[in-house]
């Protein structure tokens, strides 16, 4: 999600971690769909038959697997290169991947506490590198701004929440639902980065959107981050009313921090209209799902709505908020990370986003009891297909363009 275009070598160095993310996503997605299919009376057959029994690993694979790896790939390579002109040393990446995969395997084997310690260790490795890199002056001498600090805080907060959760029975301290608390990882990281990236892709010069000297916009972004972290943590502890209110505030302040409305209205002609419309639509959808998640938490806590709140929060904040941002921004920036200029980047396609958001809506209607179990299965298939189409199409385009450029060199 970085804004400065990087060379293809940096993109290649990120691939082992990105590949790990996609493997975890695929396994977690198959497990989730198999489980819902079984509940609907159509259990998975053949090689997928045993996937239902692994449903307890679904949240780990999606949050501490896919999300953790995707964000870590950004911090260790792409954003690191952008800020300091160097990626994380090889030994840092090797240690990260070792902890990451040991955590995934041990959790799927049922050794949960060890897996969670390993997951927190992988996050602390990322935090160590980010602390040393993003909190130093940039390669051209710029001081860290709000997004550097917030990005560095994100893996630290996530690791602390895991370790506190593990230690809380011994300390006699209050506990929370860890699978909900870990939603902080994608939401906080995206709020930190997009407050800078989205205005640029909507075509607003830094002086009009997120100038480093703009205290008001930095303050809104920081408030959005803090209220999201506290709101999700409160919701994970059962305080749905207070948590929902803070999540709504986070969504409103987050939209304000990216200057969404003014950015859409005053987009620069330097950015193609198709790109501005694509980014603007996905940005609006992402914040709409984030705000709706908070509203639903409030309504459910007030007894005004029958809802599987845990499932709804999880999918609105991951598929709704996170993936709309990914499909809106990475449809353009993936090419930049691979050393492909904006003029060579194919126009973003709306179809993956349409499928994704239909799938999210179906999942929400299923969680509200309005649609049957079959809609849950169909929702999982739609969102999975949307994500696969998005990544396969863009990675194939990147490969094709790079091969053409190499042939013409």
Nearest to 193 by CA among 293, 274, 283: 283
Which are the contacts of 142, defined by CB distance < 8 A and separation ≥ 6? 212
Q: Which of 175, 210, 229 is the last residue of a domain?
A: 175
- Can you give the pLDDT at residue 4? 39
218 shares a domain with 349: yes
Residues 149 and 181 in one domain: no
**pLDDT confidence of residue 91:** 94
Domain shared by 93 and 211, yes or no = no
Query: Is the same domain home to 268 and 325?
Result: yes
Q: Report the alpha-carbon distance of residue 371 to residue 362 in Å, rounded.
A: 8
**Tokens matching residue 330:** 């990475």
- The backbone torsions φ and ψ at residue 86, rounded to the nearest 5 degrees and listed phi first, read -155, 150
Q: Which of 175, 207, 223 is the last residue of a domain?
A: 175
Domain count, the chain: 2
pLDDT of residue 196: 66
**What is the domain extent for residue 42?**
1-175
Res 409: pLDDT: 57
Q: What is the predicted pLDDT for the residue at 32? A: 84
252 and 148, same domain (yes or no): no
Q: Do 198 and 137 fall into the same domain?
A: no
Q: State the pLDDT at residue 258.
A: 66
SS3 letters across 263-327: HHHCCCCCCCHHHHHHHHHHHHHHHHHHHHHHHHHHHHHCCCCCCCHHHHHHHHHHHHHHHHHHH
Region of 369 (left: φ > 0; alpha: ψ -120 to 50; beta: rest) is left
Residue pair 253/227 in contact by the 8 Å Cβ criterion: yes
Give Cβ neighbours of residue 44 (< 8 Å, ≥ 6 apart).
34, 37, 38, 51, 52
Low-confidence ranges of the chain (pLDDT < 50): 1-7, 206-213, 260-265, 267
- From the number of C-beta atoms within 10 Å of its C-beta (0-12, 13-18, 19+), residue 402 rates as middle
Residues 345 and 398 in one domain: yes
Residue pair 195/212 in contact by the 8 Å Cβ criterion: no
Query: Cβ contacts of residue 236 below 8 Å, gap of 6+?
Result: 176, 177, 178, 180, 181, 183, 243
pLDDT, residue 204, reads 53
Examine the domain organization and report whether 376 and 243 are in the same domain.
yes
Same domain, 373 and 248: yes
State the DSSP string of 159-196.
HHHHHHHHHHHHHT-----HHHHTTHHHHHHHHHHHHH
For residues 159 and 252, state if they share a domain: no
At residue 101, the 3 state secondary structure works out as helix
102 with 223, same domain?
A: no
166 and 208 together in one domain? no
**φ and ψ at residue 174, rounded to 5 degrees:** -60, 150
**pTM of the predicted model as reported, rounded to 2 decimal places:** 0.88
Which of 159, 175, 191 is the last residue in one of the domains? 175
Which residues touch 89 (CB under 8 Å, ≥6 apart)?
none
Can you give the pLDDT at residue 401? 87
Q: What is the pLDDT of residues 257-314, one digit of tens each?
A: 765 444 444 545 556 778 878 888 898 999 999 999 999 999 999 999 999 999 999 9
Q: Is 88 helix (H, G, I), strand (E, B) or coil?
A: coil
Please give the pLDDT value at position 133.
95
DSSP code string of 38-60: HHTT----GGGGGGGGGGGGHHI
């Amino acid at each position: 999600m970085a804004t400065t275009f990087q060379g293809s070598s940096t993109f290649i160095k990120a691939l082992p971690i990105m590949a790990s993310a996609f493997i975890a996503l695929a396994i977690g997605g198959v497990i989730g769909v198999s489980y819902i299919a079984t509940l609907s009376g159509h259990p998975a057959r053949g090689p997928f038959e045993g996937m239902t029994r692994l449903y307890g690993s679904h949240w780990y694979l999606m949050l501490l697997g896919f999300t953790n790896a995707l964000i870590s790939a950004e911090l260790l390579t792409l954003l690191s290169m952008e800020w300091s002109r160097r990626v994380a040393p090889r030994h840092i990446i090797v240690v990260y991947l070792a902890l990451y995969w040991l955590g995934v395997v041990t959790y799927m084997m049922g050794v949960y506490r060890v897996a969670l310690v390993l997951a927190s260790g992988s996050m602390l490795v990322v935090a160590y590198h980010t602390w040393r890199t993003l909190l130093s002056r940039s390669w051209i001498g710029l001081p860290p701004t709000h997004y550097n600090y917030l990005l560095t805080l994100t893996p630290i907060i996530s690791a602390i929440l895991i370790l506190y959760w593990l230690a809380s029975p011994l300390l006699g301290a209050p506990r929370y639902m860890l699978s909900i608390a870990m939603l902080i990882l994608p939401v906080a990281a995206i709020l930190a980065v997009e407050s800078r990236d989205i205005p640029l892709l909507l075509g607003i010069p830094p002086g009009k959107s997120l100038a480093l000297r703009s205290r008001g916009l930095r303050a809104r972004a920081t408030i959005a981050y803090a209220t999201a972290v506290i709101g999700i943590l409160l919701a994970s502890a059962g305080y749905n009313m207070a948590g929902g209110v803070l999540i709504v505030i986070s969504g409103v302040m987050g939209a304000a921090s990216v200057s969404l409305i003014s950015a859409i209205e005053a987009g620069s002609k330097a950015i193609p209209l198709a790109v501005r419309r694509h980014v603007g639509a996905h940005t609006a959808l992402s914040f709409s799902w984030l705000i709706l998640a908070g509203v639903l938490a409030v309504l459910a806590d007030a007894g005004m709505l029958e809802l599987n709140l845990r499932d709804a929060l999880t999918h609105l904040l991951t598929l709704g908020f996170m993936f709309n941002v990914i499909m809106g921004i990475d449809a353009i920036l993936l090419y930049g990370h691979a050393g492909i200029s904006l003029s060579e980047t194919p126009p973003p396609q709306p179809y993956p986003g349409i499928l994704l958001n239909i799938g999210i809506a179906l999942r929400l209607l299923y969680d509200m009891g309005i649609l049957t179990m079959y809609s849950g299965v169909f929702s999982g298939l739609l969102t999975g297909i949307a994500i696969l189409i998005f990544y396969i199409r863009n990675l194939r385009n990147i490969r094709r363009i790079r091969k053409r450029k190499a042939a013409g060199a």
